[in-house]
A and B are shown apart, each in its own frame.
Chain A
Amino acid sequence: MKLNSQKAGILLIAPSVLLICSLLVYPVLYGAWLSLFKKHSFFPDQRFVGITNYIYLMKNSDFWMSIWYGTVYSVSTIFFQIIIGIVAALIVNEAFKGRNFVRGVILFPYVIPTVVAIILWKWLLNDQFGLVNYLLVSVGIVEDPLSWMGKDYIMTTLILISIWEFFPFVVLSILARMQTIPPVLYSAAKVDGAGPFRRFIHVTLPQLRNVLFVIILLRSIWMFTKFDTVWLLTQGGGADKYIRTLPVYAYMRTFMYYQAGLGSALAVIMFIILVVATMIYFKMFRREEEI
């Protein structure tokens, strides 16, 4: 069993490593190489231009706007996902009748295709026939129907839909951790006279520290690189300029202006921002113990 384990082990992991290297790592490196070229997305002709693409982007106001929109979008959605996620996890962690039903239902938004989520909300938020506007007007919160897909509200709409779609991830991750907190910690705090709020601050939160560290990291990466939710919402509204985040801008450069080199440069910049941000994040928050 031990004799040829070196060989067998390598043989079994080889397909995984080969696929990951050729289909994930190599494309990323190839993208970095492409970003030094002026290249048409469909035709094979390409010309080496060095860092011209990067210099162009540094002087381009659309690029800086996309960084700004992307930051606004990811910071606000992450903040609310975490807050709502913790509150919801505290609720479904309580014992009550129908708890499993509630736990199942609140996951729905996360498991459906993004296309479905977007079309659903476009129908609910439709300015003429949408249910939301009807309710808002009939209750008297607003006088005239809101134009949710118009330029004034599109960012708010995008943020609300994204929170709705992705907060279940936070709920489940936190719930899984909460279930492993030893109940004796709570009874000890109770004996010491701590009320529910102080028990949450002094018992629950410190226990959640590590899982929150991971969730915030993953969600930040995924929200900052989120493409489909943003892209699908912009289609057909005319207000797409106001939510053009970095991933959408990279996509447009490549597949609408056919500038594959420039698009690759944007992807590389995205990658660098993520790596630097992750390193700073680890420096600031990671404690000595293993996560």
Chain B
Amino acid sequence: MTPKNNFFSLRGQFLYWCAAILVVSTAFPFFWMVSTSFKPLPEIFVSPPRFLPDEFTLANFERLFEQTRFLTYFRNSVFVSLATVILTITIGSAGAYSLTRFQFYGREKIASLILFTYMFAPIMIVIPFYVLIKKIGLANTHIALIMAYTAFCLPFSLWLLRAFFQSIPLALEKAALIDGASRFQAVIYVVLPSALPGIIATSIFTFILAWNDYIFVRILITSDELKTLSVGIADLYNATVIDWGMIMAGIMLITVPILIFFVFVQRYLIAGWGAGAMKG
């Protein structure tokens, strides 16, 4: 480890300036969003702009809740994202466990198929996917969304979970089996707890992907009451004369859960990154 850079050295000064530029350029738009969302309408358009609201108001949030279906969109997003996480993690953990613990014909072929489909982008799938979903009568349902997200998250989830399962020594399981545990018990009490950081990292990536998606909702969902946040807010934005205060309040409420969540689980997220996660 290099010694800490002193703030008063030339090198230290340079570093702090660079870090400050990084922080301001990434965080300032969010600060501006929060500030705008608490300003009364006339103050939003005032020149010169004020960095903090002179008069603090919740009127933007009231309009958002009373005049739009924001809460419905929010509920839909939570439901679809959580369902995707549960499904992906269950199927993906079983698959990753199989890939790391069993010998069977075609195992390596399956692993390369998974890596190959990791490269697929939504836009390459979405047109035929839409036609097929319409054919089987699932268009405009949350099930279609959950299916699409699960299929999309599986390749990288399998890849990531596989890396985590590989790092758990086989000896642990063998010891449990010798102590008289069944294979199932060995998995539940020995393997899963050690794989927990990996499972958490994978869940976060899956959740973020489902929560942030726009294209699948845009194409698969037509009823307003089934829309999730991304499309809901985009439609509010495009609807009429833009109510900037209300829109800022809305996107702030979408962003805050993600950012709070993110601060708490950051260390798992960074662990997952080392193993090569994330897409988009």
Contact = CB atoms under 8 A, between A and B. Distances in A.
Do A and B come together as binding partners?
yes
B128 A111 contact: no
Given A24-B125, A222-B280, A111 B258 contact: yes
A98 B128 CA distance: 48
Contacts of A169: 278
B214 A232 contact: yes
A212 interface: no
A105 interface: yes
A150 interface: no
A27 B36 CA distance: 43
Nearest to A120: B29
A97 B119 CA distance: 38
Interface stretch (A52-60, A260-268, A282-290): A260-268
Interface residues of A, number: 92
A162 to B, nearest CB: 12
Given A10-B98, A111-B258, A267-B128, 4 more contacts: A5-B103, A24-B120, A112-B255, A222-B121
Interface stretch (B53-61, B62-70, B89-97, B188-196): B89-97
Contacts of B259: 108, 111-112
Interface of A: 1, 5-6, 8-13, 15-17, 19-20, 22-28, 30-31, 34, 39, 41, 87-88, 91-92, 94-99, 101-109, 111-116, 119-121, 123-124, 129, 131, 134, 138, 164, 168-169, 172-173, 176, 183, 214, 218, 221-222, 225-228, 231-232, 235-236, 247, 250-251, 254-255, 260, 263-264, 267, 270-271, 274, 278
B40 interface: no
A214 B277 CA distance: 12
Contacts of A114: 212, 214, 230
B198 interface: no
B265 to A, nearest CB: 11
Q: Which 8 A-B pairs have the closest CB atoms?
A: A9-B102, A225-B121, A23-B151, A16-B95, A12-B98, A31-B128, A113-B212, A13-B98
21 contacts: A5-B104, A6-B103, A6-B105, A9-B102, A9-B104, A16-B94, A16-B158, A19-B91, A19-B150, A19-B151, A26-B132, A119-B247, A120-B32, A123-B32, A164-B25, A176-B274, A218-B279, A227-B121, A227-B123, A264-B128, A267-B124
B233 interface: yes
B99 interface: yes
Contacts of A96: 4-5, 7, 12, 15-16, 19
A109 B7 CA distance: 27
Interface string B233-256: 110011000001001100100110
Interface string B25-39: 111011011001000
B262 A270 contact: no
